[in-house]
Amino acid sequence: MKLAGIIFSNIYDDTMGDLTRHRTVASLPFGGRYRQIDFALSNMVNSGISAVGVVTKYNYQSLMDHLGSCTEWDLNRKNGGLYIIPPFSTGHSTVYRGKIEAMACALQFLYRTPAKYVVLSDSTVICNIDYEDVLESHVASGVDVTVVCNRAAPTFAGERRDLAFRMNGNVVTDVLTGCEADKKLYGSMGMFVMEKEKLIHVVEDRVAHGFFHFEKDYIQREFINGTIEIGVYEFGRIILRNEDIASYFKNNLRLMKESVRSEIFNSNAPIYTKVRDEVPTYYGTQAKVDDCLIADGCTIEGEAENSVIFRDVTIEAGAKVRNCVIMQGSHIKRGAELNCVILDKEVTISEDTFLSGAMTAPAVINKRRVI
């Protein structure tokens, strides 16, 4: 039995504000040197999936630049490999509104793949998962669709789930969409396993009837009608849900914890990313660094504390950075102070500038701005 994969790269762009103004949520930088799609793609490759379709919508130039030939994921192959699936590629005159319409763009990919089963994945959930275990559970249960879920208390007030389940033992008793997070509920991780032929039928039928939302128009609707069997695969390890700017910021800083890093970056199932040959980070004689995650190619001569710092960042002497996410190529000049700030790529912070947000509402500075 073979698995194919489909990754949705744009579904949650609207929740990330300025961070996805010029990029997909899948290509959003995370964790110092990665993009969010690296985690979904690496999970599939580590699970033996060799054919992956990435469904795009708009602003996907940076995503294509990052993926390149997909050598790092061993997907530059004659049989299978990675397929970029843009909008309008199959004659549709409008961009998709939900996952069902997105998969309608991917039907040619599904028709051609020899895989019997398909994994569907969002690119906003960061974890390290083996889909072979999920497939084994799906096949043994004989259900129509298996949903990967977890049970966890909300990480911030008002956190919501696109899809959640109430269970009685192994039996689903209720399906909820757009509900508030609750540790008693099984919250979907945006990962699904289905038989390929079943998925094709669902997509063709739902599109023909004007439906476009996978969770509401298929899973919830069919459950209410009593015409679907749902399996829930509970994932018990650490996951990071980047659902909006606040959670994205918090989850970057959670990587400071060794317990979180060891779960996400498992040496037995590596997270792959685009390789860049950079010199090691330079630390000046007056530099002070405490509890930071710092990529290569940086120049650190000031102070940095509890921050995630991407490649090629410069922090001049006298500058102070605390509780920040500093993306690639940014330059923080002498005397500047930043606290609870997200700097997008190639931002310049002028001398003696003070910027501060809050842990629940970080200040976001757009790409290539000079402040």
Count the Cβ atoms, other than its own, within 10 Å of residue 28: 24
pLDDT at 3 (0 to 100): 92
Count the Cβ atoms, other than its own, within 10 Å of residue 234: 12
Name 78's Cβ contacts closer than 8 Å, sequence gap at least 6.
Answer: none
Which conformational region is residue 142 in: left (phi greater than 0), alpha (psi within -120 to 50 degrees), or beta? left
Pairing assessment for the beta strands 117-121 and 160-161 based on DSSP bridges: unpaired
pLDDT at 100 (0 to 100): 87
Of 355, 352, 318, residue with least CA distance to 338: 355
In this structure, what token pair is assigned to residue 309? Answer: 């710092």
Of 13, 17, 10, residue with least CA distance to 361: 17
pLDDT at 239 (0 to 100): 93
Of 331, 336, 70, 104, residue with least CA distance to 206: 104
pLDDT at 110 (0 to 100): 93
Instruction: Convert the pLDDT of each residue in 10-21 to its tens digit.
Output: 777 677 888 988
pLDDT at 339 (0 to 100): 97
pLDDT at 314 (0 to 100): 96
Of 243, 245, 256, residue with least CA distance to 323: 256
Quickly list H helices, 32-120. Answer: 36-46, 61-67, 99-105, 107-112
Name 370's Cβ contacts closer than 8 Å, sequence gap at least 6.
Answer: 347, 348, 350
Pairing assessment for the beta strands 288-290 and 230-234 based on DSSP bridges: unpaired
Q: Distance between CA 92 and CA 212 in Å, rounded?
A: 13
* Average pLDDT per 10 consecutive residues for the chain, totaling 371 residues: 87 79 90 94 95 88 88 88 79 68 88 94 94 95 95 76 89 89 88 96 90 90 93 94 92 94 92 89 94 95 96 96 96 97 96 94 94 91
pLDDT at 95 (0 to 100): 65
Residue for token pair 């931002």: 347
Quickly list H helices, 241-369. Answer: 245-254, 258-264
Instruction: Convert the pLDDT of each residue in 215-252 to its tens digit.
Output: 999 999 999 999 999 999 999 999 999 988 999 999 99
pLDDT at 210 (0 to 100): 84
Which conformational region is residue 32 in: left (phi greater than 0), alpha (psi within -120 to 50 degrees), or beta? left
Q: What is the DSSP string of 143-186?
A: -SEEEEEE----SSTT-EESSEEEEETTEEEEEESSEEP-TTSE
What φ, ψ does residue 308 adopt, rounded to 5°?
-105, 120
pLDDT at 243 (0 to 100): 86
